[in-house]
Amino acid sequence: MELFEEQINKHFQEHFGRLPAFFVKAPGRINLIGEHTDYNMGLALPAAVDKHILFGFAKNGSKDTCRFLAIDMNAREEVRLGQLTKSDQSWSNYLLGVLEAFAKRNISLPGFDCVFCGNIPIGGGLSSSAALECGFARGLDQLAGEYLDNWELVKIGQETENDYLGVQSGILDQFSSVFGQAKKAMLLDCRSQTFSYINADFQAYQLVLFNSKVKHEHTDSGYNSRPEECRKAVSIIQNKYPEIKSLRDVNDNILAECETTMPNKLFRRSQFVVHENARVRAFCRAFHESDFELLGKILYQSHFGLQYFYDVSCKELDLLVDLTRGEEAVLGARMMGGGFGGCSINIIRKSDLTEVKERILSQYKEKTGILAEAYEVSIEDGVQVK
């Protein structure tokens, strides 16, 4: 964080002639298990991690001028409050969407400057977008002196995705970035929006992410079709079970009764969601019992479902997972995030980390020509004002 502070101070001084008044740190997230369950009102087990974006903020003395500087992209944007229009710079639209959400809430903002940088891999499935939204929102909240609660920040981030950017996502990513706690995973119920912290001590094992370096944009991948497919499946199930509100309410018996009434694709989508919710519960039980072998098996089961039932994986992610199967030190692996690229999440024995990472990265490059990256991650706190 100190390095990022130095960079932000330097650029703030160069571009705006002063230092920032305060910093906001916003982490990326991992999702241990429970993929694509959030918009189906299901269960998930995310955590904030030690990859983050750091923002510097200061009022600039103007009535309505806002200036942003993205150090990592060497890009700037200047806008006027009350005159917001979408930018041709994709990163800027995340900030503009948050500003729009504040305007809808009639929260008055001063003119301000914002400089940011970070180390969350963009398009890697660690939700750099949610960190950008929630960190920026917390900074605006600080400038306005509103002191919004954490759930309001989550809603602002989700509104930015859904309404401003057209990504039909749930609350998982923003929730994880805002509510994260060091050394804790969070069992999130997306229907009731309640959660509990659980100890996430992997003991002799390490969480490792392999970045496929295949990047995805949810707005032009197949991501947005999945929520609609799930809604269609629910509407078919409701013909027989009108009390069903979402796939969270469905079980295997209900699915079996409705299988012949829906297209196979919708049946497979539904089956994945039902089983993934069950895997979240099983994962929590295994954690409580320190059954790390079972944790690994559940990861592999989840990837199989994501690959063949939900169809959101890709050949590069499948390869990264397959390369782990011959490694005795790897307990389990699966793709993580929205899909169509990004990272796999792996549980690897600490004593074998170096050799395993080298072999997998080498074999991946040999088979794809792509130089992937590996990140050892730890579970850290959520959004903080510094």
Question: What percent of the chain clears pLDDT 70, i.e. is strictly above it?
Answer: 98
How far is C-alpha 293 from the geometric centre of its chain's CA atoms?
25
Find the DSSP H helices in 86-208. 90-104, 128-144, 150-159, 172-179
Decide if pLDDT at 356 tops 50.
yes
Which residue type is seen at 366?
A: E
pLDDT of residue 100: 96
Task: Write out the residue limits of the CATH 3.30.230.10 domain(s) in the chain.
Answer: 2-199
φ and ψ of 251, to 5 deg: -125, 180
- pLDDT tens, 59-73? 999 999 999 999 999
Among all chains, which residue has been given the structure tokens 């509100």? Answer: 245
Structure confidence at residue 126 as a pLDDT band (50, 70, 90): confident
pLDDT of residue 220: 47
Structure confidence at residue 216 as a pLDDT band (50, 70, 90): low
Contacts of 187 (CB under 8 A, 6+ apart): 43, 44, 45, 195, 196, 197, 198, 280, 284
Question: What percent of the chain clears pLDDT 90, i.e. is strictly above it?
Answer: 92
Identify the architecture of domain 2-199 in CATH: 2-Layer Sandwich (3.30)
Q: Are strands 65-70 and 112-118 parallel, antiparallel or unpaired?
A: parallel
Structure confidence at residue 221 as a pLDDT band (50, 70, 90): low
Q: Let me know: does 367 contact 210? Beta carbons within 8 Å.
A: no
For the residues of 373-384, what is the DSSP string, one character each?
EEEE--B----E
Q: What does pTM read for this prediction?
A: 0.92
Structure confidence at residue 127 as a pLDDT band (50, 70, 90): confident
- The arithmetic mean of pLDDT across residues 356-372, rounded, is 98
Decide if pLDDT at 217 tops 70.
no
Query: In 3D, which of 211, 216, 133, 141 has the Cα closest to residue 176?
Result: 133
CA–CA distance, 25 with 28 (Å, rounded to integer): 10
Query: In 3D, which of 113, 111, 13 has the Cα closest to residue 56?
Result: 113
Q: Are strands 112-118 and 22-31 parallel, antiparallel or unpaired?
A: unpaired
- pLDDT tens, 71-96? 999 999 999 999 999 999 999 999 99
Query: In 3D, which of 85, 30, 60, 67 has the Cα closest to residue 207?
Result: 30
CA–CA distance, 16 with 20 (Å, rounded to integer): 9
Among all chains, which residue has been given the structure tokens 């949610």? Answer: 130
Q: Let me know: does 377 contact 207? Beta carbons within 8 Å.
A: yes
Task: Write out the residue limits of the CATH 3.30.70.890 domain(s) in the chain.
Answer: 205-376
- The arithmetic mean of pLDDT across residues 195-217, rounded, is 91
Decide if pLDDT at 355 tops 70.
yes
pLDDT of residue 75: 96
- The arithmetic mean of pLDDT across residues 146-156, rounded, is 96
Structure confidence at residue 323 as a pLDDT band (50, 70, 90): very high
How wide is the angle at C-alpha 164 spanned by C-alphas 163 and 165, nearest 5°?
Answer: 105
Q: Let me know: does 66 contact 58? Beta carbons within 8 Å.
A: no
CA distances from 322 to 125, 286, 316, 333 (A): 19, 23, 10, 9
Identify the architecture of domain 205-376 in CATH: 2-Layer Sandwich (3.30)
Catalytic residue ranges = 173
Q: Let me know: does 159 contact 8? Beta carbons within 8 Å.
A: no
- The arithmetic mean of pLDDT across residues 363-373, rounded, is 97
Q: Please, what is the end-to-end C-alpha distance for the chain in angstroms?
A: 11
- The arithmetic mean of pLDDT across residues 315-329, rounded, is 97
Q: SS3 for 213?
A: coil
CA–CA distance, 42 with 38 (Å, rounded to integer): 5
Decide if pLDDT at 262 tops 90.
yes
Q: Give the burial class of 187: count Cβ atoms within 10 A of its Cβ; 0-12 exposed, 13-18 middle, 19 or more buried.
A: buried
Torsion over CA of 208, 212, 215 and 219, rounded to 10 degrees? -70
Decide if pLDDT at 219 tops 60.
no
Q: Let me know: does 177 contact 130? Beta carbons within 8 Å.
A: yes
Among all chains, which residue has been given the structure tokens 């991650």? Answer: 377
More confident residue, 230 or 124: 230
CA–CA distance, 83 with 356 (Å, rounded to integer): 53
Average confidence score pLDDT of the chain: 95
Decide if pLDDT at 222 tops 80.
no
Q: Are strands 43-44 and 112-118 parallel, antiparallel or unpaired?
A: unpaired
pLDDT of residue 159: 95
